[in-house]
Amino acid sequence: MPSIPSDPSPTAGRPAPGGSTALLGVLGDPVRHSLSPAMHNAALAGLGLDWVYLALPVTAANLAAVVPALEALNCRGLSVTIPHKQAVAALVAELSPLAQRLGAVNTLVPRPEGGWLGTNTDVEGFVAPLQGGDWQGQRAVMLGCGGSALAVLAGLEQLGFGSIAVAGRTAAALTTFQANCRGWLPNLQPLAWDNPDGEGLQQALSHADLVVNCTPVGMTSNSDPTAVNGSPLSAAALDRLRPGCGVYDLIYTPRPTALLREAAARGCRTWDGLEMLVQQGAAALRLWSGRDTVPVAAMRQAALERLQGS
Ligand code: NAP
């Protein structure tokens, strides 16, 4: 398990906050192990902005009080993470079309006329490492149909995938997921995942050009109770993957995950979720700062250093 220091320094490499320092932060529960403060404070130093980004632990019961209070404090922007991505949508003055479509908000931007704009940069983060590939008409298989899966689905659609199948272990959750995206992706193929070797899933894997793990299986975490060791795909299921098939794991602890290690051993191309995290943060910072360019390399480096515990 990576050792993550518990005392991130939001002011590393720049002057301590003063009377005019503005606040940004991430709302979640828990947020103690979030990489976002390290990433964003590194970027803010690079941009020369007198802003500081903090992890702000907020319970579900306090969310409705905290969101307007932070606006009153002239907060310049907020990230939103588990478990608030859905609930915060009811607390904003405006939702971007993408946030409306996904029913999930991961970024709040203060509006000049007052109130928060709720939007979602997870799709931009997810597609970033895949940009430049020719995915037009290709076949994707998603594992899991929870909160992150809708953003992944929107990203796969944006990249031009011709067929997308999603495997879910809980029938009701799979049905709800399909209903949530029926309006914009009517051809989604649901796959029952009663066991990891279900034949429908195995067949889909043998034709796949890209497999995306949207489950917490394979994550090591001392803060997420859903984390499960191992690979979401059995050895038999992994053997179905064609060499050259892409395998993308949203997880980034450990690096590599068991899924990516096993997939690479079978000749697959692999991506983990760190770049998605960095790129969704960079997209949010562009919105908050109004800058077209933000120091993505510094954000990536800061996230890596935090992961490595240095
Ligand atoms: P979530 O809303 O809890 O959804 C998890 C999904 O995985 C559900 O469909 C769940 O099925 C399924 N699942 C859980 N355990 C399983 C198991 N043992 N076997 C098969 N399926 C299982 O979680 P999420 O927000 O989508 O996040 C999923 C993962 O992505 C997490 O590890 C998270 O850290 C990571 N993530 C990374 C980024 C990034 O920026 N890199 C962004 C978002 C999320 P049930 O409905 O049956 O429980």
For 217-228, what is the mean pLDDT?
Answer: 75
Give distance in angstroms: CA of 68 to centre of ligand 1: 29
What are the structure tokens assigned to 198, written together?
A: 């279900």
Res. 6 pLDDT band, cuts 50 70 90? very low
d(CA 308, CA 198): 37
What are the structure tokens assigned to 120, written together?
A: 């979602």
Q: Is the pLDDT reported for residue 297 higher than 60? A: yes
For 203-224, what is the mean pLDDT?
Answer: 90
Res. 309 pLDDT band, cuts 50 70 90? confident
Q: Has 267 been annotated as catalytic? A: no
Give distance in angstroms: CA of 12 to centre of ligand 1: 33
Give distance in angstroms: CA of 21 to centre of ligand 1: 36
Question: Which is more confident, 248 or 8?
Answer: 248
Q: Check if 226 has its Cβ closer than 6 Å to any atom of ligand 1.
A: yes
Write down the pLDDT at residue 223.
66
What are the structure tokens assigned to 55, written together?
A: 């992890």
Q: Is the pLDDT reported for residue 97 higher than 70? A: yes
> To test the ligand 1 pocket, which listed residue (40, 153, 215) has its Cβ within 8 A of the most ligand atoms?
215
Q: What is the pLDDT of residues 155-191, one digit of tens each?
A: 999 999 999 999 999 999 999 999 999 888 888 999 9
Write down the pLDDT at residue 4.
44
Residue type, 77: G
Residue closest by Cα to atom 31 of ligand 1: 216
Q: Check if 216 has its Cβ closer than 6 Å to any atom of ligand 1.
A: yes
How high does pLDDT run on average in the chain?
92
Q: Check if 219 has its Cβ closer than 6 Å to any atom of ligand 1.
A: yes
Q: Is the pLDDT reported for residue 222 higher than 90? A: no
The answer to whether the CB of 221 falls within 8 A of the CB of 243 is no
Closest alpha carbon to 168 in 180, 184, 158, 183 = 180
Give distance in angstroms: CA of 141 to centre of ligand 1: 15
Q: Is the pLDDT reported for residue 211 higher than 90? A: yes
Write down the pLDDT at residue 2.
41
Q: Check if 43 has its Cβ closer than 6 Å to any atom of ligand 1.
A: no
Judged by phi (left if over 0) then psi (alpha if -120 to 50, else beta), residue 43 lies in: alpha
Res. 115 pLDDT band, cuts 50 70 90? very high
Q: Check if 148 has its Cβ closer than 6 Å to any atom of ligand 1.
A: yes
> Which one is catalytic: 40, 76, 84, 85?
85
